[in-house]
Amino acid sequence: MPISEALAPDETGPGIFDLTERRVIVTGASRGLGRQLARGLAAFGASVACVARDQAALDETVALIEAQGGKASAYVADLGDPDAVTSLIERVAIDMGGIDVLLNNAGVDHDSPIEETSLETWEKVIEVNNRSVFLMIQAASPYLRASGGYGKVINIASILGTVAMRDNSAYVMSKHAAIGLTKSIALEWGRRGVQVNALCPGFLVTDMTIHSVSDEASSKWITSRTPMGRWGQPSDYVGAAVFLASRASDFMTGQTLYIDGGWTAQ
C-alpha cells in the first residue's frame, strides 16, 4: 500500500498540531518563558495547569490565557518538596481528569566562578533544575502512561546542556544532567506510549537574563556570537513547544531540539 494511502487525512493537515482536550502542566508558568509557553499551548486548545510559587503572578498568567479564550488554572507548589509534588500531581489529575503533557520549565541560574560559588547556591540550582524535574516526572508517570498513547514530557534544558560557559558551573552541570535524564527516561518509556524530549533555548530575553540584556557589553557579546544577530524572545519557542506537545512529534523521543539562533551550529 502506498504511504499516502496508509495515512489518515488529518495526519497530514494542520490538525496534527491541535491540542484540544489535551491536559498540560507547565511549571515556572508565572513569568518569562513559562508564561509564554503556557499561553501558546492554550492557544492551540490545551487546558493548562500553571504551576509556580507566586500566586499573584500565576493569576496574571491565567487571566492572560482566559482573555485569549483559553483554559487555564493556577497551582502554587514547592517543586523541591516530594510530598508537595505528589499532592500537586494528584490535584491536577483530579481537576483535569488526567495528565497528557508535562512541561518542566521551572529553573534558576547563577553567575559566579567555581571558587566563589557557595554550596547553598550549588544545591539550589540542582534542586530547582534537576530534583524538581525528577520528582515531577516520577509523580506524573502513571497518568502520562495512562493517557492513551498521547503522553509527552518536555524538559526545558539549554544550549548550556551541550556547550559550556565559564562562571556558570552549577547551571551548566544541571542542564547537561537534564538532557541526560531526558534520554534515559525516553529509553525507559519508548514502548509505553510516552515521548520524552528536551527543548534547548539559546540566549533569550526573560527576567532571568535582564541584567545581561541591559548591560551593553554583555548584550553585544551575545548578539555578535549568535548567527542570527539577536536575542531570542519567549515567543520564538512556542512553535517548538506545540510541536513537542502534539501528535506531530509522535515518533520523536530522547531528542534535544535547539532553538538558539544558530549558536550551537558553530
Say how far apart CA 265 and CA 72 lie, in whole Å. Answer: 37
**Amino acid of residue 204:** L
Phi/psi at 162 (5° precision): -125, -45
171 is catalytic: yes
Of the listed 150, 171, 237, 258, which one is catalytic? Answer: 171
- C-alpha pair distances (Å), 78 with each of 46, 81, 86, 90, 167: 24, 6, 11, 14, 27
First to last CA, the chain: 43
Task: Return the bridge partners of 198, or none.
Answer: 155, 256
Task: Return the bridge partners of 49, or none.
Answer: 25, 73
- The CA R_g of the chain, rounded to the nearest whole Å, is 18
Q: Could you give the strand order of the β-sheet that contains 101-104, starting from the edge strand earlier in sequence? A: 71-76, 47-52, 23-27, 101-104, 151-156, 194-201, 256-259
- C-alpha pair distances (Å), 207 with each of 31, 35, 252: 8, 12, 31
| Other CB atoms within 10 Å distance of the CB of residue 9 | 7
Name the residues annotated as catalytic.
Answer: 171
